[in-house]
Amino acid sequence: MKTRETKIINQGLEDEMEVWGYQPCLWKMVLVGVGAVCSGGLLLLLLYWLPEWGVKGTCTYTSLRDARTLLLRTTDEFRQWFRVRVHVMVASGRKPFDSLDLLSTSLLPNGDNIINSVHEEHHGKCSHTQTAQTNYFTHHSTKYYWSDVIQNFEVFQGLEDLKVSCAHIHSDHSSGLSKTLQEYRMLFFGENEIAVRVPSLFKLLIKEVLNPFYIFQLFSVILWSFEDYYYYATAIVFMSAISIATSLYTIKKQYVMLHDMVAAHSVVRVSVCRGNKDIEQALSTELVPGDVIIVPANGMIMPCDAVLIHGTCIVNESMLTGESVPVTKTSLPSVGEEASVSYNIEEHKRHTLFCGTRVIQTRFYAGELVKAVVVRTGFSTEKGQLVRSILYPKPTDFKLYRDAYLFLMCLVGVAGIGFIYTIVLSIMNKVPAKTIIIESLDIVTITVPPALPAAMTAGIVYAQRRLKHIGIFCISPQRINMCGQLNLVCFDKTGTLTEDGLDLWGIQRAEEDSFSPPESDAAKESLVTSAFVACMASCHSLTNIEGELSGDPLDLKMFSATGWILEEPTEEETALHNPIMPTVVRPPKRIVPEANQNNQLTQNMELPELSPCEIGIVRQFPFSSALQRMSVVVRRLGEKHMDAYLKGAPEVVAILCKQHTVPQSFTETLETYTRQGFRVIALAHRQLESKLSWHKVQSLSRDLIETNMDFLGLIIMQNKIKVETAGVLQELRKANIRTLMVTGDNMLTGISVARDCGMVRTHEKVIIADAVPPKESQPASITWHYTENHQTIKDHQTVEMNLEEQEEGYDKRVTQLEHNYHFAVSGRAFAVIMEHFPQLVQKLVLRATVFARMAPDQKTQLVEVLQSIDYTVGMCGDGANDCGALKRAHSGISLSELEASVASPFTSSTANISCVPNLIREGRAALITSFCVFKFMALYSIIQYVSVTLLYSILSNLGDFQFLFIDIAIILIIAFTMSLNPAWKELVCHRPPSSLISGPLLFSVLTQILTSLVFQVLVFLLVRQQVWYETWTPQSDACNISSFSLSLNVTNPHDHKNIRNYENTSLFYISSFQYISVAIIFSKGKPFRQPSYKNWPFMLSCIGLYTFLLLIMLYPVPAIDKFLEIVCVPHDWRVTLVIIVVVNAAVSFMLEILILDIILWRLVFRENQGANAPHSPPSADTPQEANDHWGSSFLSWLFCRRNKPPKVRYMHVALELQDDTDWPPRPSTITYANDTQSQNSDPL
């Protein structure tokens, strides 16, 4: 057999896929056609459900270049298959950025199919032009084009594909595209639109109906119709119709909502530059990468991703980030070191306007319009990728759903046994062939509950409704169950654990080589003309929007502390001046004269005494999370030179300053503040050369300006911990849920906040892993710093005593759970460790609690690492820098005011972390509800299966109305009301099971199946032993009720199906009670749900059904008996049945509650569910504890669970660390990348 080469597309990306090429094969297609006809279309359905079979069954393997059909398979854990068709495009080139010389000015070929003869005739005059054919296919709204160079399919994202530098964008792409080149590129990139096509109801209906479950239902209905079970068949059709209608309504509504969200402002008119001078109006759908658009002064909603090359924009990016704070976008650097770097949309996002974001205002030169080069269009844009992730979500990887399918396969296996049993029994009894076929297939339909999907969904729908009631909105309901399994939650710090707003605690100015005493008031008159206050007043990205100052909360607090006023030029003022009209800041007029009068006593670093205090902001270098700083170039009114002001992380600012201007006590002072949890920002100043002109400044690189600065001092901001934070974190700790802090703030500030909020307890030490990359001959290294422990001697003694006790007598499995140290890692160190110390990553994240100075992509990377060691990860952030991590986590919750955030599965309208335990509680309740409903539906199938199998042995069956009563009156009502239990009010220390294939659940289901089987067989045999028993006929008179017998005789002279008999009646009674008793037993409350007696719809249903069944059993009503096709039995037998029902319920209750919940769960199945479980030190065993220990040992041996290795990776790592004497590393040691041993260094 020919070796099949596997190619990879999107290699290394989230949507990486394997691809194989195929060509249609005539003889295979003929065979499939014959098979489809012979199977009545079932073969076509099978090939529809299994795309890989469909392709392999109708095509032959070929090379990708010659393929007409492709088979794709994702490389992730889901291994999804897709079938796509290859198209051919005819164009003047093979790539969108080919040279203009290849193009004909009049060639406008078709972009979707091979140019046909009509098209060639239409363009006959250019048919001689040399053209190239390019194969392409479309998958998930992305086009893939064949490349002869790489011999594979590739995606054209946009201008980034050229890998051009920022300077080249200015020089080569700033003039715009000709119309011909724009039309050529549109062939490859298509129209610039994020097209969310709302499928027609008919198309959705066909797709929904072809679901395997509904096909099975159709098969069942046809079968029941042959048996004249019209009522039951009608009920199933009615239920399926409601289910399909509900599903169609929901899907259609989601499509319409997404379409409306995307369609709003998606098509606008834009001004496009054609060549250097020409400007034309065009629709935004015509834009292609390389086009130059003009951003109007009054703003616009961006129809594409574009990079600014002239001017400045203020943008609201809340659509992408959930953060409504306006962001300032500046033009792309054109000269200097920054300009030589290749343009990257992520690295240069401060210069990039993203699709869907709103440009609020622009800043520009008169005569020089605000221009931007289109970088990406359509689904390649940031907004397009977000919409794609919603349109084509990954399957929810949750063990419950996988196990549910396995369980259904088991039920199908049971059905198979019944199928064979029925056939054999029927042949032995010489039953007609038609009856054998119908009854043997009927037993299969009984084992798969028709209401299972609807019943399973009900619990999630109810949980979603309860979450909405407490202000948590959900756009991914399947993830609610996942929340019930969370055992680790990552928290952002600012705005999440701490207050969003910062309060100015004070300032500390630098004078010569030391700090002056801290000052609380930055607005006092003596400081008005100081460079320090000038920096506070000008170094920010604030703007006036509709008369209100808007911008970053830190900038707002800092600026308001100065008491200065910000004035921005109007459009009219800007148009009147050749140079740009700057934003101006100045102190209130009432204090300016006084400030000028008091200028005779000049201070160090003050500006010239006679200068007015008005300052114009000439250029802004926005804050960059990668650089951790921002700067501005300003000119004071009347001055001939300009000044540069810088603010940022103190460690970064100090490096950019002249060392003699940085106070000697800088490090100690900074540590003092950060240890107390203060947010510290450093300021710096530099006087620029007089020869610098306004225009020259606009083209300068920030690296040239942000150097050789004079250190001004520190701003100390107080970031208070939210009132709810400590309580919530303590609740999560008690619930055995590990908590981490992932922040962009300073390391020591993060550690201080972690201690203050209880994430790190008083007696626990924190080890800072400070990693540095390799330099010259030195390999990468990690230095381990131990921070000071703020604790008393008593705390030390307590810890030592606990550890000693553990070493003496505590179980080894528990010692690794004792948390007495935490790691703290910075973003820089995290990057080095990921690259150079991969063997330490898992060890480190197992104990790391504080991650500081983390970039947004590093937060996502951290979530992935935690997931790789089998943590179920939650992420809680404010939506600004956490979008990637929120999407990547199993459960991301955004603390945003937006009711529905595209970035996060869950969004809380309550701006504190109290939503996290609420979400976990509801998740646990929904998960337990899913288990309860699934177990109940499985038992319902088996109970009914047993009843029917027993009745088949006497050539009988349940009646049509008996089926109807059981399925509608009992099962549906119970299944939908048992899901209504609200969540339990507390989080307990263990999680619900995540798998149906687990000891407790299997024990529960199997024991209840056995109990039901035993009691049904008992009743079946007992009734045949009764003295009054006989083969029932219409003339039978076991009750001595002649009128009833007569009426039966008259109404139904013949009972062809043998429904009415004593066995049927007895089994109907006993099974009806079994359904209700297992529902009550499985509907568990504490510790994850409220008790069932608080679920009044469920209780009323159970009481009502019990009452009705007891009434018709003890006091028969002829009309009801006639309707349900049950016969009259003696009163003594009815009493016996009641006793059997009571005993059955008692046995079921004892097996489930006493044996499983109390004995087995407590002694055998309970396992440690995290490496962070809080454990108290062992004490002398009480007699009860000794018995428990003995019982646990015996039962664990009996169930083969002694020394069973943990299933999850993080527990394996924890057990390995338990035996590692060199972990954690000792204080003041260094670990090198090429060493396995730690080497001692000098004390740090």
Which sequence positions are flagged as catalytic? 492
**Phi, psi dihedrals of residue 1166, rounded to the nearest 5°:** -70, 125
Q: Which residues pair with 312 in a beta bridge?
A: 363
d(CA 968, CA 232): 9
d(CA 1192, CA 1160): 8
Spell out the long-range contacts of 1163-1167 with Cβ–Cβ below 8 A and sequence spacing 24 or more. Answer: 1163/1188, 1163/1191, 1163/1192, 1163/1195, 1163/1196, 1164/999, 1164/1192, 1164/1195, 1164/1196, 1164/1199, 1164/1201, 1165/998, 1165/999, 1165/1000, 1166/990, 1167/1206
Under 8 Å between Cβ of 97 and 161: yes
**Phi, psi dihedrals of residue 898, rounded to the nearest 5°:** -70, 135
Name the DSSP letter for residue 494. B
* Residue 734 in tokens: 């008690």
Angle between helices 382-391 and 230-263 (to 10 degrees): 180
Q: Tokens 């000693």 belong to which residue?
A: 804
- Distance between alpha carbon 310 and the CA centroid of its chain, in Å? 37
**Phi, psi dihedrals of residue 490, rounded to the nearest 5°:** -95, 135
d(CA 748, CA 1017): 71
- Distance between alpha carbon 262 and the CA centroid of its chain, in Å? 21
Under 8 Å between Cβ of 450 and 837: no
Under 8 Å between Cβ of 620 and 541: yes
Listed residue (1136, 427, 1179) closest to 801, CA to CA = 1179
Which stretch of DSSP H or E encloses residue 258?
A: helix 230-263
Calculate the alpha carbon distances from 179 to 94, 111, 175, 184, 991 in Å: 19, 16, 13, 9, 62
275 phi-psi bin (left φ>0, alpha ψ -120 to 50, beta other): left
Calculate the alpha carbon distances from 76 to 13, 16, 80, 84 in Å: 11, 8, 8, 19
User: First-to-last CA distance in the chain?
Assistant: 65
Q: Which residues pair with 778 in a beta bridge?
A: 775
Handedness of CA 928, 929, 933, 939 (dihedral sign): positive
Q: Tokens 């204090």 belong to which residue?
A: 591
Q: 1115-1128: b or e for each residue (b if 16 or more CB lie within 10 Å)?
A: ebeeeebbebbbbb
Under 8 Å between Cβ of 504 and 679: no
- Distance between alpha carbon 1167 and the CA centroid of its chain, in Å? 28
Calculate the alpha carbon distances from 123 to 113, 114, 117, 656 in Å: 16, 14, 10, 63
Amino acid, single-letter form, for residue 1043: S
d(CA 773, CA 79): 37
Residue 91, CB-side half-sphere exposure with 13 Å CA sphere: 26
Under 8 Å between Cβ of 968 and 1072: no
